[in-house]
Amino acid sequence: MAQRRRVTDRLPTFPWDRLTPYKRTAAAHPDGIVDLSVGTPVDPVPGLVRRALTDAADAPGYPATWGTPRLRGSISDWLERRHGVRVAEGAVLPTVGSKELVAHLPAQLGLGPGDTVVHPELAYPTYDIGARLAGAEPVASDGLASLGPAPVGLVWVNSPSNPTGRVLGVPHLRKVVAWARERGAVVASDECYLGLGWEGTEPVSILHPEVCDGSHENLLAVHSLSKRSNLAGYRAAFVAGDPALVEELLAVRKHGGVIMPAPVQAAMAAALDDDAHAREQKERYRARRERLRTAFEAAGWRIEHSEAGLYLWASHPGHDAWGAVSALAERGILVAPGEFYGKAGAGHVRVAFTATDERVDAAAARLP
């Protein structure tokens, strides 16, 4: 009889579980912990979104897997209004958060043993996990030309980057699209931080005509409202792009029953239709970013990239990643070691600026 492979044999330890002892140390600080290790929203859900959720709460029937016409229209309108992207009819699909899509996209695209999934060398860990869950081979590489004849089925792009905040410009993205199209590979662009540019190159979607010459063939863009609208608890996200690929994903998700709840669909549409609350939230993050960056640099830390997104990519001449985590934990500040995101992050930490104003001020006061 074949032996079942346990999850511990198939997947690595969940990275944040390794932070537990450092979290205990930080929590022992007399003024309490400042948790900057996870980019979780802390500000209120906008009132108009909560009202939309409540108004749609009487939803006894099964919701539509591909979303209500209202939601699909709101997604399409938002992409064009905010990011200059016009998608075909039916080329959008709501997802139960973006992480579930990232984790299951290779399998839902039919990839498996013998296929390669490429992701950045410094990357959100779930790109790797998604390949493993499908039985495909994950490869961390920033140089596609060096991959040789490997049968690449999927290429992940992440701009602005989690963890570094680096933004990929139009010329870079065009090269990725051209390379993938020559090989018949799908390009999936994680654009969850696309609206959070702070300085330097303005973030642009893989679906923008300047990048793809107006063709979305073999291209997918992933977006989330977790940070834009403080909806991490709602699990509100979507994927858009190649109509044929979206139709394929829809078919798989119908079979699997992967459906966003109807009240959340209504709330998500309301959030996408309103830009005012997103501008207000971005300004909150801008102020927290400036406060933390100033404090870290004054304390001898070096900040690299970090021109977009919700994180500071920081290093200190006296510490490696885990040494920096330990030193900051002694001051009651919890951050994530760069090692979580790949070997190239061994000298850095990722600092989220999603804490409250009061906690951000507390961290800044402890740094000197």
Across residues 35-53, what is the average pLDDT? 96
57-273, CATH topology level: Aspartate Aminotransferase; domain 2 (3.40.640)
- pLDDT tens sequence across 100-111: 999 999 999 999
Q: Is the pLDDT of residue 4 over 60?
A: no
Task: Give DSSP secondary structure letters for 18-79.
Answer: GGHHHHHHHHTSTT--EE-SS----SPPPHHHHHHHHHT----SPPPTT--HHHHHHHHHHH
Across residues 217-244, what is the average pLDDT? 97
**Parts of the chain belonging to CATH 3.90.1150.10:** 7-44+277-366
Q: Is the pLDDT of residue 2 over 80?
A: no
Task: Note the pLDDT of residue 151.
Answer: 85
Within 8 A by CB and 6+ apart from 275, the residues are 81, 82
Q: Is the pLDDT of residue 283 over 80?
A: yes
**Parts of the chain belonging to CATH 3.40.640.10:** 57-273
- Contact predicate 216/303, CB 8 Å: no
- pLDDT tens sequence across 180-189: 999 999 999 9
Which DSSP symbol is given to 348? -
- pLDDT tens sequence across 112-167: 999 999 999 999 999 999 999 999 999 999 887 777 677 899 999 999 999 999 99
Q: Domain 7-44+277-366 is classified in which CATH homologous superfamily?
A: Aspartate Aminotransferase, domain 1 (3.90.1150.10)
Give the integer Cα–Cα distance in Å for 177 and 186. 9
- pLDDT tens sequence across 189-219: 999 999 999 998 899 999 999 999 999 999 9
